[in-house]
Structure 1
Amino acid sequence: MTVISKFLSQSSVVANFSRKQGTKKATLAGCLLIAAAVYGAKKCPHIFDVLRRKGTSNESLQLSSTDQAAVVTDKKEAEENIPRTNRTIRSKKSPAVNKVFFEQIRFLLKIVIPGVWTKEFGILSLHTLSLICRTFLTIYVASLDGKIVKTIVQKDAFKFMLQLSKWIGIAIPATFVNSLIRFVESKLALALRTRLVDYSYQKYFHNQTYYRVSNLDSRLTNADQCLTDDINVFSQSLAHLYSHLTKPLLDIAIMTFTLYKLARNRGASSRIPTLVAVVVVCVTAKVLRAVSPRFGKLAAEEAKCKGELRYMHSRVISNAEEIAFYGGHNIELSALQQCYRSLALHLDIVFRKRLWYIMLEQFLMKYVWSAAGLVMAAIPIITATGIKADGTCVNDDPDGGVSERTQSFTTARNLLISAADSTERMMSSYKEITELAGYTERVHTMLSVFDDIKEEKYVRNTVSFNDGRSSAMLKISGKVSDCDNGIFIEDLPIITPNGDVIVPELSLNITPGTHLLITGPNGCGKSSLFRILSGLWPAYRGNLKKPATKHMFYIPQRPYMSRGSLRDQVIYPNTVGDMKAKGVSDKNLEEILSLVHLQHIVNREGGELQFYSVLRVLCCYI
């Protein structure tokens, strides 16, 4: 600013302008310079970025034309192979109330409320009806308060007892409606969660997504967190936000109309109170939105930290024996403490941001709005002409209109308090909407990743090629088909989910009746070949013909014990219903137990667990 002022003063002296003209032109020049400075500050990062890219491109000119063509081709192939959802995740900003949020919430709403003739829509309609009833009850109670105060001023004991009995009588349905609103809100949240959980579970267990999402894709690090806590919080937040937006809107609309009629009945103008309300609400909204923290990003980050902490606990539980053998409890303890400290640090940041925001919010909505409400209630009474709607004058009352003014003030004050409370809830709901945006982004991302995995579009952080290059993902171009006369493999590479090439090309033919033993050191691709045959890993190139999945059975390296009885263990993955449909009895299962020498199954040992897998193979061919 000092440089600008010196420049303006020097230019005005040299030009020998008059004081008035110099001031105008100096002001104009200063504005132009400030605008140019602001524009330059905005564009400087982009300019530096362009220069940096230009420098990089100049360096790349030293490459040969063949290398440049290879780089461009690889880049295009990588961009084409990246799933659309992953591009969205990369280019998307932090969760906020914007167009992306509305598209995501509309997508999820179609899932949780698929139609009008559904249970969820019925609960939503009942919830809306209860909110409307509560609004009219609030208006009726406010009018009763005014009538009770009027009878006190008039010293009419009979009317006082009559109005008081009405007030107590209306309390019974009012309390029931309040309880009904909370009950229906909880039922709505549970119904939305149930619908979303069923939809997510179907996708999670379709086409081995539960395996692929953690082994072939790296976008979801904690699928269990998304399927449990994130869906739960999203459903509760959505149902709660509907109450906090619908009822305030109804309250403001109906109570504003009631206050307008009340002012007209007293012959007062409603323009000034309306103007005061609009100005106060608009200024409050502008201020709060300007200083509001990014609650959506904070909520999403909090859910991520909680998921990491839960994942670390699950790792310790799953690998407790190995950790105990190695004596690695100190390392696991430090890892758990680090995850918890990250969560605690993030929560501390959230609490600090909420401290000042809530203080400003309470000051504006409690005190500033209360003062504005008193002004709005007092102006119609002070400026009233005293002529009622029926043409009579309020001064015709025995007390000179004191009781009438007291009744009007009490009723208007209660209505204004209710309307202010509704407006406050709407204003504070913006914070909840931004938090909902964070949960919506996480749930929508989870479902989008499931859809990509269904289409065999995977994304890993790092993928290694044979020549050392890396990309976002590999292109899946292998052909897999079913046949009944054996297993035929032609030019099939064995590649890990990380992109490490174990076997560049493999060709193999196995006909029925052939026994094949594959041996080799660790990491040579023995188990990886079976993962490709079972469909766990994709075929990136080549041709693969194999029997249908129902005609093949795989015994994994680690024995798996499902929940249930001994019968359930033996017939897994079939159910008891499948067993009865095939005509298999418990006697048949006992015969199979004798084939693998497990008659003494009651005294089983850990080493015999692998025999269960053999039992399952035999049961499949009964």
Structure 2
Amino acid sequence: MNNIRSTLATVWRIASPYFSSEDKWAGRGLLGAVISIELLLVGNDVLVNQWRNRWYTALQNKDWDTFKFETMVFCGLATVSVVLGVYQLYLNQWLQIRWRNWMTNKYLGEWLHDANHYRMQLAGDAADNPDQRMSDDVKLFVSQTLAIGVGLLSAVVTLASFVIILWGLSAALPLLLFGSDLTFPGYLVWAALVYAVFGTMLTQWIGSPLVNLDFNQQRLEADFRFNLVRVRENSEQIALLRGESAERGRLSERFGRVVGNWYGIMSRTKRLTAFTQSYAQASVIFPFVLAGPAYFVSKSIQLGVLIQIGEAFGKVQDALSFFVTAYRTMAEWRATVARLDGFENSISSAEKLAADPASIHTRPASGGDIALPQLLVKLPNGAPLVSVSRFSFRPGERTLVTGPSGAGKSTLFRAVAGIWPFGNGAIEVPRDATLMMLPQRPYLPIGSLHDAVVYPGEAAGYDAGRVREVLTAVGLPQLATRLEEEAHWNRMLSLGEQQRLGIARALLHTPQFLFLDEATASLDEPSEAALYQLIAAKLPDTTVVSIGHRSTLDAFHQRNIALVRDGERFALRDAVKVAAS
């Protein structure tokens, strides 16, 4: 019971914001229409139930006129049922896509907000495969929530409607047992209740493990798909290392987990299906067994009444057995709810990590420097990594950062960029200053080359002629004529060409502070020197901070700082250099 309450509370927390959002009137209107049509369908079922009595009685009495009239009545009721069913499906699907669109945009906004997606990974990636959460899980949540919610409403209304009918039909109907007539008001209703309770208890007992099995299946499927994508993204490195066998083994192992969990689902589903199918088949004959003696022995009812009793009993039993028939869907639904709940909690935890006053935070600087008055950068496990005291990157200055591998140079850059929260202290950045970080492997989105070069800007904001000019300047004249070509550029271009594109991006955006994290390491020294000279010429007012290991970089920087071992951590040491010529 506590699990059910918890699931319902989670569903309400996830679902209710949509019906209070900017799309609330459309959402509420469509939901109201779907519910209204469902109520009309139940009302139509009541009319059909009453029609069966009259139609089968006409058959029994060979009443041709009544038979013809009731046949016409059925055509009308059937037409209404078809029209209502079609429009309920259409409006339900319309509501699904609007609701899903809102949820997807909401999650995208929260996930891709101020590096929150990156902090989620740093915190351990508790919400595995966010791509699946925002595609498959959102889709399933919307469709299954509507299906279960409308189905439950239908069951309640159907129960209320047909209990009255069934009670009335069995009120004066004697219960014939072992040759004796017993008076038991509404015994058919009580029989349906007992039958449904029995079926519900057994269904829960047999099917409860499916919730965890479905949760694991979704996770394992997503993990397998993610690793397939990783192989595709890194196909060149795998081919160069002849790693196909190793990757095949790893992928087979992951898919083996998918298969193993699926076998568990198969076994449990087989037992559940065996019971629910037997339960459903028995329910077809059960009311006729109870009411049959009144038709055959005492002859107190006609054929039409017997048929009406059978259908009314079936409707009541189906309504009471909603949990039984929908259990498989509800097990998948609860797993989906748990995954979205985990995703939302992961988003919230990452946001709290960024807002924690005890973590590294950014504040406006009083001057034009990026200042690090007192900063301690830590690893996610809390181990100290880099300490900085009274340090600043001065406007227009070119600074080279050196130090051994693993000293925390790149992590210090991430902290300056505002995406590394682990540690304490403040980083003071001039208000409205523009920063750009160029890593060793720049990100190039799939699409046109024009889009890739100006990222994260919009292509329309950058003149094509200017982009061609910059591409030629960084040594990529062969790409200058391919701006409209669409491709996966991280695969198409060598790492050296990608790094040249990164420098082109910096020249187009003209940031006030440019941080180069070994952004030219894949180029030969003459090419690297040419690019640094280009940066100095084209971005004379930009503060440039570089991470590099080549001694040849000294000539292009006015200042050299190093990370040196200081006990359990590394400390930043500053050495004033002669200004570069």
The TM-score, its normalising length taken from structure 2, stands at 0.76
Distance 1:408 1:346 in 2: 49
**2:86 counterpart (172, 179, 184):** 179
Q: Matches of residues 155-174 of structure 1 in structure 2 within 5 Å?
A: 155-174=62-81
Determine if the alignment matches structure 1 residue 534 to structure 2 residue 440. no
Q: Which of 10, 15, 26 is the equivalent residue of 1:119?
A: 26
Query: Aligned to 2:288, which of 374, 390, 393?
Result: 374
The answer to whether residue 539 in structure 2 is matched with residue 619 in structure 1 is: no
User: What SS does the aligned partner of 1:524 have?
Assistant: coil
Among 345, 350, 356, the residue aligned to 2:260: 345
Q: 1:143 aligns with which of 22, 39, 50?
A: 50
Of the structure 1 ranges 347-356 and 274-283, higher mean CA displacement relative to structure 2 is found in 274-283
- Tell whether 2:234 aligns with 1:319: yes
SS at 1:220's partner residue?
A: coil
CA distance in 1: counterparts of 2:248 and 2:149, whole angstroms: 42
Once structures 1 and 2 are overlaid, which stretch shifts more, 430-439 or 296-305?
Answer: 430-439
Contact 2:451-2:459 at 8 Å conserved across structures: yes
- Asked if the contact 1:220–1:446 (Cα under 8 Å) also holds between the matched residues in 2, the reply is yes
In the alignment, the residues of structure 2 paired with residue 120 and residue 450 of structure 1 have an alpha-carbon distance, to the nearest angstrom, of 25
1:610 to 471, 484, 499: 499
Asked if residue 332 in structure 1 is aligned to residue 238 in structure 2, the reply is: no
Q: Which has the higher contact order (CA 8 A, sep 6+)?
A: 1
Give the direction of change, closer, same or farther, for the CA distance of 1:243–1:102 in structure 2 (3 Å limit). Answer: closer
Larger helix fraction of residues: 1
Counterpart amino acid of residue 305 in structure 2: S
CA-CA distance at 1:599 after TM superposition: 4.3
Matched, 1:272 2:187: yes
1:221 match: secondary structure: coil
Q: 2:3 corresponds to which letter in structure 1?
A: V
Higher relative strand content: 2
- Secondary structure of 2:94's partner? helix
- Partner Cα distance (2:319, 2:5) in 1: 26
Stretches of structure 1 lacking an aligned partner (at least 5 in a row): 1-94, 385-400, 459-473
Structure 2 residue 96 is the aligned partner of structure 1 residue 214: no
Whether 2:346 is the aligned partner of 1:449: answer: yes
Q: Is the contact between residue 362 and residue 418 of structure 2 (CA under 8 Å) also seen in structure 1?
A: no
Structure-2 residue corresponding to 1:601:
479
Q: Find the residue that maps to 2:144 and give its secondary structure.
A: helix
* 1:512 aligned partner, one-letter code: P
Match status 1:435 vs 2:310: no
How far apart are 1:345 and its partner, in Å?
0.8
Instruction: Determine if contact 2:295/2:303 at 8 Å carries over to the other structure.
Output: no
- The amino acid that maps onto 2:25 is T
The Cα shift of 1:405 comes to: 1.7
Secondary structure of the corresponding residue to residue 438 of structure 2:
coil
Task: Provide closer, same or farther for how the CA distance between residues 167 and 333 of structure 1 changes in structure 2, counting only shifts above 3 A.
Answer: same
Q: Are the counterparts in 2 of residues 252 and 419 from structure 1 also a CA contact under 8 Å?
A: yes
Please point out which of 412, 419, 422 is paired with 2:319. Answer: 422
Is 1:295 aligned to residue 210 of structure 2? yes
Q: Which residue of 261, 277, 281 corresponds with 1:362?
A: 277
Give the whole-Å Cα distance in 2 for the aligned partners of 1:379 and 1:257.
22
- Gap regions ≥5 residues in structure 2: 175-182, 483-492, 512-581
Q: Is the 8 A contact 1:485 1:547 kept in 2?
A: yes
**Cα shift at 1:506:** 5.6
Q: Does the 8 A contact of 1:493 with 1:503 survive in 2?
A: yes
Contact in 2 for aligned 1:503/1:525 (Cα 8 Å): yes
Determine the structure 1 residue equivalent to 2:518.
none
Confirm whether residue 234 of structure 1 aligns to residue 131 of structure 2.
Answer: no
- SS of the residue aligned with 1:218? coil
Conserved? CA contact 2:31–2:95, under 8 Å: yes
| Residues 119 and 419 in structure 2, CA contact (< 8 A), matched pair in contact too | yes
What displacement does 1:593 show?
Answer: 4.2
C-alpha root-mean-square deviation of aligned residues, in Å?
A: 3.1
User: What SS does the aligned partner of 1:323 have?
Assistant: helix
Q: Which amino acid aligns with 1:169?
A: G
Distance 2:234 2:255 in 1: 20
Distance 2:388 2:398 in 1: 22
SS state at 2:391 partner: strand
Q: Is the 8 A contact 1:216 1:498 kept in 2?
A: no
User: Is the alpha carbon distance of 1:593 and 1:337 closer, same or farther for their aligned partners in structure 2, counting shifts above 3 Å?
Assistant: closer
1:405 equivalent in structure 2: 302
Cα displacement (A) at 1:130: 1.6
Match of 2:109 in 1: 202
Question: Contact between 1:479 and 1:542, CA under 8 Å: does it hold in 2?
Answer: yes
AA aligned opposite 2:343: M
Q: 1:223 deviation in Å?
A: 1.7
Q: Distance in 1 between matches of 2:481 and 2:95?
A: 50
Q: CA–CA distance in 2 between the matches of 1:325 and 1:589?
A: 33
Residue from 518, 530, 553 that aligns with 2:436: 553
| CA displacement at 1:334 relative to structure 2 | 1.0
Partner-residue secondary structure (3-state), 1:98: helix
Q: 1:120 to 1:294 in 2, by over 3 A?
A: farther
TM-aligned CA deviation for residue 339 of structure 1? 0.9
Between the aligned partners of 2:71 and 2:150, the Cα distance in structure 1 is 30
Match of 2:199 in 1: 284
In the alignment, is the contact (CA less than 8 A) between 2:192 and 2:317 conserved in 1? no
1:437-465 per-position Cα deviation (integer Å, ceiling 9, x unaligned)? 2211110110111011112169xxxxxxx
Q: Using the alignment, how far apart are the partners of 2:130 and 2:41 within structure 1?
A: 40
Q: In the alignment, does 2:13 pair up with 1:107?
A: yes
What is the SS of the residue equivalent to 1:554?
strand
TM-score in terms of structure 1 length: 0.71
Alpha-carbon separation, structure 1, partners of 2:253 and 2:404 = 37
Matched residues, percent identical? 18
Residue of structure 2 aligned with 1:569, choices 447, 452, 455: 452
Where 1:488 maps in the other structure, the secondary structure is strand
Counterpart residue identity of residue 336, structure 2: Y
Q: C-alpha offsets along residues 389-446 of structure 1, whole Å, 9 cap, x if unaligned?
A: xxxxxxxxxxxx98x7222222222222333333333432244334322211110110
